[in-house]
Amino acid sequence: MLGLEPFTRASLSMIALGYASATMAHWWPVAAIRALVLAALVGVAFAALRPNPPDPILDCAQVLQQKSGASILVGLVFAVVFLSFVAGTYLRGRRVPMVATAVPALSIYGLAGVFTSGFSLQVSFSGFLFAAVYAMAYEHLLSQSTPATGSFPPRRSARSALGLAAGYLALLLPLSFPLASLSQRMTPGLTPAERDRLRRTLFSTDDDPGYSRLSETVSLAGGMRTTGEQALMRVKTTTPGLLRGRIYDVYERGCWSQSQLIETSIPLGDGPVGRRGRRAARRHAGGLDASDAREAAREERRRYFTHPPRHSRPPQEHARRVTQQMDLLGRVPGSVLCAGIPLEVITTREDLTVDVTGLVFGKTDWREGDTYTVVSEVPDVPEPLLRRAPGGQPPEEGHWIQIPVSVAPVRELALTIAGKERTPYARAEAIADYLRAHCRYSLSVPSAPRDEDPIVHFLTTGRKGACDLFAGATAVLCRALGIPTRLVTGYLLTELDDDGTYLVRERDAHAWVEIYTEPYGWIPFDPTPGNNTPAGSPSGREWQAWWSKLSPRGLTFLAEALLLGILGAVVAGARGKRRHEDASIRFRPRASDAHGETQHAYHQACRHLARRGVPRQVGQTAEEYLAVVRESGLPEEIRVSMEALTDLFEQACYAPAGSALPDAGRARVLAATIRKLPRRWKRS
Amino acid sequence: MNHATEPLSDVDLQALAEKTTRIVNEIQTVIIGKAKAVRLAVVTLLCNGHLLIEDIPGVGKTMLGRALARSVGGSFKRVQFTPDLLPADVTGTAIFNPKTAEFEFRPGPVFGNVLLADEVNRATPKTQSSLLECMEEGQVTRDGVTYRLPHPFFVIGTENTTESQGTFPLPLAQLDRFLMRLSLGYPSNEEELLLLERQMKRHPIEDVKPVVTPEEVVTLQEMVTSIHIERALREYVVKLVDATRRHSAIHFGASPRGSLGLMRASQAYAATAGRTYVIPDDIKAVAPAVLTHRISLKPEVRARGITAEGTVEEILRTVPVPVLRR
């Protein structure tokens, strides 16, 4: 199934509830539910659009700063929502139809769809849209009028109505795909960064998952995982793989954090400056790109050597050096990202510190345009050797095997899974195999209950999670078996551009673990199934693959044209229907003729009374309408005038042509009397 | 037939309305309340149609028929339909006359101006159809000789719907011959009380006197045909009948005879209201009585408790009323 956003789920259930109540509208508690749903949908839409809401679904202030086009869009949506309600209420009398309830929901959803490029959201949006259309079509059927047809609607049995509504759905569902692609085309030209910020403001459910922010803590609480397309940096390297960002050793209350033992960091001493730095830069960046070397020469670059003092390093024969040059494209936390343990860092910054684990940090964030080169040491051990390697105690201080009491149930599970294996790496592999077999990768994870540990919940009930839960669970299970394990967050290099560089996007954020083995030190280990980057839920990818297979460009075009054609036909049909009704309800004045003038006067009076809440139904005769008018509590004068006018009208409309002419002057006077009824008057 | 060229004069109309009112009043000395049903019964007479009264026993079906028949004057015949009734008992039979040594036709009860066919669904289909043939064609053919029925010829059939044992329900094709089907329903408490009071001494039916002659009825029937019905309203009639054919709950809709009956009945109804032209309300007033017995609901719909009356009402509610002169 598609991973539906919380907003979609809420909207769908609202529509469903409102719809269910619409089918039983005569029963007063149901009418109350209907009103409630209506109010809730309107409320959600308006709360979301209100500037500076306490918990913003859409932060207007931020949108307004972003781009004038976006602000116009927000204004437009606001106006459309508001006007559609005013118009709908005015046109349909006091009973607001379900169509109106869908308007704010659709507007908000459409807005969300514009600012997010996630395909699954587009699909779910389309699904939502057509479910709403389906519900409305059915409601129309129930209220005895087929939408956009001019023919007389006979009452249908509930079964045939359902069948017809299903027919609508079958017809409309295939159109949801061209609609999605159409909405993609119509997306305004926001930059990915702008779009991503908006997406975050639209869908920030809980706190942002820490693993993508390299923040001080990583919360495993549920919520939408990051799928942002925003490009963060460009990496020039010869080896793809992981970019380490931050290391965590303490797990407590569903949250990974750094203990004081590893938090302490020491400033890196000043390295050699000036020409030496330039030369060094050229040497290290050499073979990558000459222009970058020139650029490096232009700036005052510093070269730092980190001297990994107490932390473990792999033996020389099982380590290789990797040089990576980062060009920042967006704002990224100040960690010096690299493949392994940094040895040399070349940058213009002066505020770098190194912590116990050997990771290098800057106090402030990297900004767009920053650049740095880092040489790091990556363990390169063949797997058979790893599987044989025994465990040990890492030289660095840290809470490497601590687990909280809340995950105690995990111990037994860990023994069942990996009790047979002897070495740390083999045990970790067994655990990863278990997780792949029993848990599913998903970016949209429901929150664990408050009193339950997220990892325990993931392993026992939820069985659904992104890389942070997979890594977190692996770490806890390994620690339960006494293996020193730590959680690492960073990025995964996957997207190789034509120019040989890797592009890192927000969605490439990743979390994995490192386990300690003798004598190779900390070995990175990624338990996430399929080595997935969080690039979209698997189902979303399937949809996308299916759709791209199905639709070459021409087909998409054709489908869009078809959609527009059908929309046009529906509009034309609706117009035709209105004309058809007009012919029987409204009068085309024939001013020259007493019959015509009398009828005209009568219709003016009817229209006026309809606006005061006493409309004439199509199936009502003039006499029946008069009876309604008599009982509606209108002022005496109006009632008497209407009685006389009805008589005149009947004479004008139905009497033989040769008989006495109706008194058109009197009809005009009577109509004028009725039109004196104040605008404020409403049927009580 | 042209409606516009020969508008009814005011004097004629007054006479028509007055005579109608007289008939209605006369009947209402017997039938307490039920003004609408009585008026519709008279409308049937004015349309030269036949009336079927269908209801539970004891609400005055036969009484209405008798009162109507008596108030019209002319020859009144009554046949109690039973399972052993034969066609000849209705239409008449040829009896051998020994004097002339020939078969002589003895006219049956159909040879009257008003025929009350009581409990018409108790007779066998054979007998029923012999009656219904007379109703439609206004003549009886016996041994190759055709005998014209008198004019006016008005059949009032009554039917008891509560019992099904030993009855032969009239098929749709035969129901169609009746212009209207009425049911009376229970009177209100006040009406029933009044009914008791009136019948303390003697039955008021004895006092019902003919208020119009058969010749007058024929004139009235001719006058009704010249009541004006606007083209838009004729279209409305057709739309209503068409709606019964398209309705999802209805198996068979009304026939063209239904449209014709609806138009005729609305004309007569307008005449009884003292108008020279039909308004949509006239059509709506007669439509249930004219249409209900001409449609048959689908069995599955009927099983859900939907009635033909409700369906016709719904059609009347939804079909747009013409409010524009063309």
Complex ipTM: 0.84
3-state secondary structure at position A484: coil
Q: Give the pLDDT score at B317.
A: 87
- 3-state secondary structure string, A492-510? ECCEECCCCCEEEEHHHEE
Place B286 in a pLDDT band, splitting at 50, 70 and 90.
very high
Mean pLDDT of B246-255: 86
Is B143 part of any domain? Answer: yes
Look at A656 and B233 and tell me if their CB atoms are within 8 Å.
Answer: no
Percent of chain A with pLDDT over 70: 51
- The answer to whether B215 contacts chain A (CB < 8 Å) is no
Place B312 in a pLDDT band, splitting at 50, 70 and 90.
very high
Query: Is the pLDDT assigned to residue B103 strictly greater than 70?
Result: yes
Interface test with B, best of A621, A625, A628, A650 (most B CBs within 10 A): A621
Look at B246 and A152 and tell me if their CB atoms are within 8 Å.
Answer: yes
Q: Give the pLDDT score at A79.
A: 61
Is B159 part of any domain? Answer: yes
Q: Give the pLDDT score at A276.
A: 41
Query: Is the pLDDT assigned to residue A543 strictly greater than 70?
Result: no
What is the pairing mode between strands B180-182 and B51-55?
A: parallel
Q: What's the mean pLDDT when you consider all of chain A?
A: 67
Q: How far apart are CA A376 and CA A324, in angstroms?
A: 8
In chain B, which residue ranges form alpha helices assigned H by DSSP? 10-28, 35-46, 61-72, 87-91, 125-137, 172-175, 189-198, 214-225, 231-246, 256-272, 280-291, 299-303, 308-318
Look at A654 and B7 and tell me if their CB atoms are within 8 Å.
Answer: no
Mean pLDDT of B103-113: 83
- B106 or A92: which carries more pLDDT confidence? B106
| CATH code, B79 | 3.40.50.300
Is B7 part of any domain? Answer: no
For residue range A90-141, what is the model confidence (pLDDT) as tens digits? 444 334 444 444 555 555 555 555 554 444 444 545 555 555 555 555 555 5
| A654 closest CB neighbour out of B230, B316, B318 | B230
Is B60 part of any domain? Answer: yes
Angle, CA B233 vertex, CA B227 and CA B235 arms, to 5°? 125
Q: Name residues whose C-beta falls within 8 Å of residue A427's C-beta, 6 or more positions apart in sequence.
A: A418, A421, A478, A481, A483
Is B192 part of any domain? Answer: yes
Q: How far apart are CA A216 and CA A213, in angstroms?
A: 9
Is B147 part of any domain? Answer: yes
Structural domain total, chain B: 1
Q: Find, among A616, A667, A664, A652, the residue nearest to B277 by Cα.
A: A652
Query: Is the pLDDT assigned to residue A538 strictly greater than 50?
Result: no
Place A55 in a pLDDT band, splitting at 50, 70 and 90.
very low
Range of the domain at B69: 30-197
Q: Are residues A578 and A645 in contact, defined by beta-carbon separation less than 8 angstroms?
A: no
| B248 closest CB neighbour out of A154, A619, A624 | A154
Mark out chain A residues that contact chain B at CB-CB < 8 A. Answer: 144, 152-157, 160, 581, 583-585, 587-588, 595-596, 599, 603, 617-624, 649-650, 652-659
Is B253 part of any domain? Answer: no
Query: Is the pLDDT assigned to residue B230 strictly greater than 60?
Result: yes
Q: Please report where in the chains the tokens 């409320």 appear, as a residue.
A: A43
**Which residues of chain A are within 8 Å of residue B228 when distances are taken between CB atoms?**
654-656, 659
Look at B320 and A587 and tell me if their CB atoms are within 8 Å.
Answer: no
Is B167 part of any domain? Answer: yes
| B321 closest CB neighbour out of A603, A621, A649 | A621
3-state secondary structure at position A320: strand
Q: Which helix (H) or strand (E) holds A41?
A: helix A28-49
Mean pLDDT of A436-460: 78
Angle between helices B231-246 and B256-272 (to 10 degrees): 130
Look at A585 and B284 and tell me if their CB atoms are within 8 Å.
Answer: no
